[in-house]
Structure 1
Amino acid sequence: MRLKKYAEQYNKAKRQCNILSNLRLAALLAIIFGIILFYFEYRIFGILFSICTFVTFVILIVQHEKVKKRKELALSLSRINQQAVNRINGKWVEFKDNGEEYMNQKHQYSVDLDIFGQASVFQWINNTFSFFGRKFLKNTLTEPEKDIIKIKERQAAINELAGKLDWRQHFLADGSATENRMNNPESLFKWAENENHLFRRPWLVWGIRFLSLTTLVSLLVTFLIDIGFFYITVILLLTQLILFMIGLRSYLNANKFTDLQKDEILTYQKLLTKIEKENFESKYLSELKSSLIDSNGHYASKQINELSFIVDMMSFKYSPLIYFLLNVIFLLDYHCMIDLEKWKKKSGNSVRTWLTVIGKFEEISSLTTIRYDNPNWCSPQLTNSKQNLSAKNMGHPLLVSNACVGNDLNIRSSGNILLITGSNMSGKSTLLRTVGLNLVLAYIGAPVCANDFKCSVMDIYTSMRVSDNLEKKISSFYAELLRIKTIIQAANKNNSIFFLLDEIFKGTNSKDRHIGAAAVIRKLSKMGAVGLVSTHDLELGELEIEKDIDVENYHFSERYLNNQIVFDYKLHSGVSKTTNAIYLMKMVGIDEL
């Protein structure tokens, strides 16, 4: 419905733009016709006609700009809603921005859990439009919050923002308006925080103001009262012309930067105004909003609006004649530079804070997508208990709903390890990623794909997609050893460790694999770490009977129907009793010898 609504608004505005363009042309022709009437002795009628048509022409220009902005807004909102529909329909894997450059093989879980890259969490939820917003979303996904109170504050913020769909979409539409929105704003911060001491000197400030005022008064006296002031006026104008030439380089250098930032500054002004005008009840959003008011009670939108006005005044250089006259008569450049430095002194150090707040709203808005698109997902309960996780009907967040099979899971105490066995393609690896991804979502304040979800705060470590490194001459087996070493070291420093090990030590022979895997599981359990281990080694199931460790066996199974393998992807207790490797070989044409 929303997509249709904004598409209709766009088409209506487009038609109005065409009509207003034609009317503007007609008004312009009418002005010319009035001038012709004046030329052919119809002076009074020609003047009146020209004035009326000129006023009409100006009104049409103003109206045309308003309609043009409505058209652009409707088009942007239409695109945003189309993207939302595509996300719900599972076409989000076609979105261009997947955060691939953030992939880091050394990160403790992001590669294994598909946080970045094709078909990733980032590609699924990313609604950021600025460098800071994108950076904050990346940081949130890789460095989740560990303070339960702060996580709950984020949950409240996400739930509140989910109910402000119109606000979120207009915020995104305004933020996406500029082409350079993804540029690093560090140069803007440096410019805003840098001082030009010359234009802050009191003697220069008052001298320029006195000189320009004296010149203006002299001009008025010369033309309106006494021509005798002519020579004084000429001297004053020449003085200002010389000053204009002296300060031109400094002005042009400043203007070159502000001209590049002009559209971004206008966009920031719109975004800050939207934040300031909206009422927020959650603590997280309210505190973000309150940080836009400085110690003197000045609102960020008002301060950046002042900057926008100064930048507009500096744009008179695009009309050379007007620009020259304004400088010779008023010393416009100097006044702009003085006002700019005055603004920097008052507000320059706040720019970083303003853009940080905008970026934080982008990040939370992206996470809100999960809540809005999945109203049946639950808000996880964070507990202070040591290392626990219980979930009912938990599914993989990135799978289309009709392809997602839910499972119950329970890790009850410190040192509890679930050993997952099962045939090829039965769902072992998917279960591990399901658990890991839902934990990440829980820690960033987002809802999780489950009917009920309770967990303590733990550091997540994974070893699932370990590969060799030819450049460093590291085999996949040794790379896995290094990864597991990292997990053991982390468990040694911190008891709140949750790990996911997929097909442990698959890169070596069966005897060594069994001995090594058993040793790792024993060590991690005794160190108090909790997690899941998937394996094809059914003999590891015997670890469950050892008294000094806490291991539980679970498995996935399959059945055969009409010469086909059928998986139910449901988790069952105990060790797997089936294998399917030989059958799969036959299916692809490899006969058993």
Structure 2
Amino acid sequence: MQHLQAMETKQFYKQRIKEINSHLNKLNKYLRFTPPARLLSFVGLVAMGLWLVKSRFDDTYLLLSLLFLVLFILAVVWDLKLARKQKMLKARLKVNEDELKYLNHEYKKFDGGGDLSELNPELSGDFDLFGKGSLFQYLNRTITRPGRNLLASQLSQPEKSAEIIEARQEAIRELSEKNTFREDFRAYGALAGIETNEAERLEEWLDTPVDHSLWIKWAGWLWPGFLTALIIGTIFDYLNSSLLIVPIFGAFFLTGRKSKATQQAHDQLGKSAKTLRKYSQLLALIEKFKVTSSFLVSLQKTVNSSEKRSSEILKKLFLLLEKFDYRLNMIMGFVLNVLFLFDFHMIMALDRWKSQHKDNARKWSSSLSEMDALISMATFAFNNSSHTIFPEIRNGEFTFEGKDLRHPLIPLSEVVGNDLSFSGQPNILVITGANMAGKSTFLRTLAVNMILGMNGAPVCARQMSFTPSDVRSSINIRDSLAKHESYFYAELQRLKSIAEYVKKNPKTLVIMDEILRGTNSLDKHNGSYGLLKKLISLNAVVLIATHDLGIGELENEYPGIATNYCFEVELVQDKLAFDYKLKPGISQKQNASFLMKKMGLTSSD
């Protein structure tokens, strides 16, 4: 059944690609006619214009000239309209082609967020949240920078409120069924290209105080009248023509007094018009989107909170910024300032917009980012609907139950599912097993599915219920030359921080993999055993994978609290065979000596 549903998802994208290509082919046929239409109408316009002059403005040639002018304008408008449709269709096509590749486990071209690992270095490093081949790269479909940052923040600091998680589940489930909306949203975003730091600069501008100087307003409005009077006076010889030099120096003097503030505003907002145009289009989509889930309804109300549509208000801002960029042309900027004190009018218009919409703009940006991040999760839900479920969220004491748990980054054809159930505090699960048997992968599987679940996303399991909790871990420890820290000291620091955190936050899931590797076997055993006893006294919930079979003695010392599980390996026809299945008990088989002998690294004696 899972395979059949997965094929249906692939078929959906194939069908969309076929439909879009069909529209593109029809559009391209029309586009072949637009260059000749523009050329012929332009040639006709020029020819009729020449005949018009030659005939000394004969009415017939005047009408023909006007006709060809109208035809030329229509040809240009038609060409631009078809070109915009073509770009949009190509953007839609890419969205569907990328998702079809994703279903074949080709997702490395998506942004992996390698620059985001510092949001939570321990969690992201231990569970491959960011970077190449990461969970973020597998999920990320964001098309705004704030949305990208929000998604990263949600993965690195998962939600723990059951109420919010369940509301997000409802929203993601609804969005996963809205394929057209998700496609539109991502296509519009793709058309605008990759953002840099425009959103951050817009935030800086919103925080900049409004300039309330009255003299700027008076100067801006009186200047054109003064200039008009000066020109009229010169024309009718009431004033000396040499006085026309006054507005040039006057404009320089007046605008120069505010040049620093003007330049700062332009530095903050320059090149943002394209990004704001995209945000306006995306907000327009949200405004018209029919939603039912409480989370999305609330989000949409925020977008529609003002009297006028948020998309239209934002449109006014990007149109202002497009005008503001006129000053980048030195000649145009000079002329506009001399004639109108252009910089003053732009600063006043931008300040008016800021005064009226500053608070709402932040709310709209937040809602847009939330929708952007939700669409990533909803796309994951749609693509993997055949083998994922929305987990049950529980309150109260810590509990976890999962059946057929799988890691999302392992292809469905290769992954092996496992069951695990535990509850109550304290609780210690000791997982032993041979090298490469699946211990570390299982720890990551459980953690990653909990992170997905706490974000309201579906999880890779047949059934799962859990209590949201903090997650702390010690898996990938790195030494630091800069801090003069050895691997062993860095690990001790990590373990100390975990113990201190659990002391303050008892409902914390602690995941550890082969701790204290930097010391001898006896030290390692005593240290690991002592740490686990300490965590038991702190009422902690711990999953630990280890090669130290002696740790399994905890089950005898703490019955009902410590439980042993293992991954075994079998020797079949002189070859190691792994089934990657979690079993109760302590591991009885090892494989290191066998592998070293097979590779010629040990003596055959």
Task: Tell me the TM-score normalized by structure 1.
Answer: 0.89
Residue 61 of structure 1 pairs with residue 76 of structure 2: yes
Q: 1:14 to 1:241 in 2, by over 3 A?
A: farther
Which consecutive unaligned segments of at least 5 residues does structure 2 have?
1-14
1:173 to 166, 179, 187: 187
Contact 1:504/1:535, CA 8 A, preserved across alignment: yes
Shift of 1:373: 1.1
Give the direction of change, closer, same or farther, for the CA distance of 1:40–1:268 in structure 2 (3 Å limit): same
Amino acid at match of 1:171: F
Name the counterpart of 2:567. Answer: 556
Tell me how far 1:587 sits from its aligned partner: 2.4
Q: Which residue number corresponds to residue 350 of structure 1?
A: 360
Residue 460 (structure 2) pairs with residue 445 (structure 1): no
Structure 1 Cα separation of the partners of residues 246 and 302 of structure 2: 46
Match of 2:141 among 105, 124, 127: 127
What's the CA shift string for 1:405-426, capped at 9, x where partnerless?
1111011221121111111111
Asked whether the 8 Å contact 1:557–1:567 carries over to 2, the reply is yes
Q: Which one of the candidate residues 475, 481, 484 is aligned to 1:470?
A: 481
Secondary structure of 2:393 counterpart: strand
Q: Is the 8 A contact 1:501 1:532 kept in 2?
A: yes
Q: Residue 86 of structure 2 is aligned with which of 71, 80, 85? A: 71
In the other structure, the counterpart of 2:585 is 574
Residues of 2 paired with 1:583 and 1:145: CA distance? 45
Q: Which residue of 2 aligns with 1:109?
A: 123
2:167 is aligned with 1:146: no
Instruction: Give the drift of 1:565.
Output: 1.5
Q: CA offset at residue 466 of structure 1?
A: 1.8
* Equivalent residue runs for 1:241-280 within 5 Å: 244=251, 246-247=253-254, 253=263, 260-280=271-291
Amino acid at match of 1:574: G
Q: Quick check: 1:458–1:497 contact (8 Å CA) kept in 2?
A: yes
Q: How far apart, CA to CA, are the structure 2 residues paired with 1:184 and 1:256?
A: 10
Is the contact made by 2:224 and 2:339 (CA closer than 8 Å) also made in structure 1?
A: yes
Which stretch of structure 1 is more off in the superposition, 499-508 or 153-162? Answer: 499-508
Deviation per CA, 1:466-519, whole angstroms, max 9, x where unpaired? 233334343323322222222211221121021111123233222222222222
- SS of the residue aligned with 1:414? coil
Specify the alignment match of 2:10 in structure 1.
none
Q: Aligned AA for 2:169?
A: Q
2:403 to 381, 392, 395: 392
Residue 203 (structure 2) pairs with residue 189 (structure 1): yes
> Does the Cα contact within 8 Å between 1:6 and 1:74 map onto a contact in 2?
yes
- Superposed CA RMSD in Å reads 3.2
Q: Please tell me whether residue 516 in structure 1 is matched to residue 516 in structure 2.
A: no
For the pair 1:427 / 2:442, whether they are aligned, the reply is no
Question: Does the CA contact (< 8 Å) of 1:419 and 1:553 recur in 2?
Answer: yes
181 and 471 in structure 1: CA distance in 2 versus 1, 3 angstrom threshold: closer
Q: Does 1:19 align with 2:29?
A: no
**Other-structure match for 1:370:** 380
* Residue aligned with 1:95, SS: coil
The one of 66, 87, 106 equivalent to 1:91 is: 106
Name the CA distance, whole Å, in 2 between partners of 1:335 and 1:171.
34
Partner of 1:29: 43
Q: Show the counterpart of 2:505.
A: 494
- Are residues 9 and 317 of structure 1, via their aligned partners in 2, closer, same or farther at CA, if it must alter by over 3 Å? farther
Structure-to-structure mapping, 1:289-308, within 5 angstroms: 289-294=300-305, 297-308=307-318
Deviation at 1:265, TM superposition (A): 2.1
CA distance in 1, matches of 2:293, 2:60: 64
Contact 1:100 1:116 in 2 (8 A): yes
Say if 2:513 and 2:546, in contact at 8 Å, map to a contact too: yes
Q: Which residue of 1 aligns with 2:12?
A: none
Tell me the distance in 1 between the aligned counterparts of 2:185 and 2:522.
59
2:19 equivalent to 1:5: yes
> Comparing 301-310 with 413-422, which one deviates more in the overlay?
301-310
Q: Measure how far apart 1:105 and its partner are.
A: 9.9
More moved, 281-290 vs 307-316 = 307-316
Deviation at 1:91, TM superposition (A): 1.0
Deviations 1:528-583 (CA, angstroms, capped at 9, x unpaired):
21121111122322221114671111111222333322111111111112111222
1:286 partnered with 2:302: no
Q: Aligned-pair distance for 1:116? A: 0.9
Matches of 1:317 and 1:188, distance apart in 2? 19
User: Percent identical across equivalent pairs?
Assistant: 30
Alignment partners' CA distance in 2, 1:323 and 1:512: 75
The corresponding residue for 2:8 is none
- Once the two structures are TM-superposed, the CA of residue 307 in structure 1 deviates from its matched residue by 2.1
Contact (CA 8 Å) 1:129, 1:182: kept in 2 or not? no
* Inter-partner Cα distance in structure 2 for 1:575 and 1:322: 80
Counterparts in 2 of 1:330 and 1:108: CA distance versus 1, 3 Å = closer
Alpha carbons of structure 1 residues 274 and 230: separation in structure 2 relative to 1, 3 Å? farther
Contact 1:237-1:329 at 8 Å conserved across structures: no
Which stretch shows the higher mean deviation, 120-129 or 97-106?
97-106
In structure 1, the partner of 2:178 is: 164
Counterpart in 2 of 1:359? Answer: 369
Gaps of 5+ in 1: none
Q: Which one-letter code corresponds to 2:60 in the other structure?
A: F
What is the rounded CA distance, in whole Å, between the counterparts of 1:318 and 1:52 in structure 2? 37
**Distance between the aligned counterparts of 1:115 and 1:340, measured in 2?**
40
Structure-1 separation of matches of 2:333 and 2:37:
31
CA distance in 2, matches of 1:109, 1:309: 43
Question: d(CA) in 1 for partners of 2:33 and 2:330?
Answer: 33
Contact 2:230 / 2:244 at 8 angstroms: preserved in 1? no
For 1:560, what is the secondary structure of its paired residue? strand
| 1:289-346 Cα deviation digits (max 9, x unpaired) | 222345x534321211222343445566699999888777777665444333322221
Would you say 1:536 and 2:536 are equivalent positions?
no
Is residue 481 of structure 1 aligned with residue 492 of structure 2? yes
Match of residue 436 from structure 1: 447
Which residue in the other structure is 1:338 paired with? 348
CA deviation profile, 1:111-149 (whole Å, cap 9, x unmatched)? 111111221111111112222112111110111111111
Quote how far apart the aligned CAs of 1:247 are. Answer: 4.9
Cα distance in structure 2, aligned partners of 1:312 and 1:117: 36
Asked whether the 8 Å contact 2:135–2:409 carries over to 1, the reply is yes
The Cα of 1:364 is off from its aligned counterpart by 1.2
* 2:208 aligned partner, one-letter code: N
- Is contact 2:201–2:269 with CA below 8 Å preserved after alignment? no
What SS is found at the alignment partner of 1:154?
helix
The Cα of 1:285 is off from its aligned counterpart by 2.1
The residue type equivalent to 2:126 in the other structure is D
Give, in whole Å, the separation in 1 of the partners of 2:329 and 2:549: 81
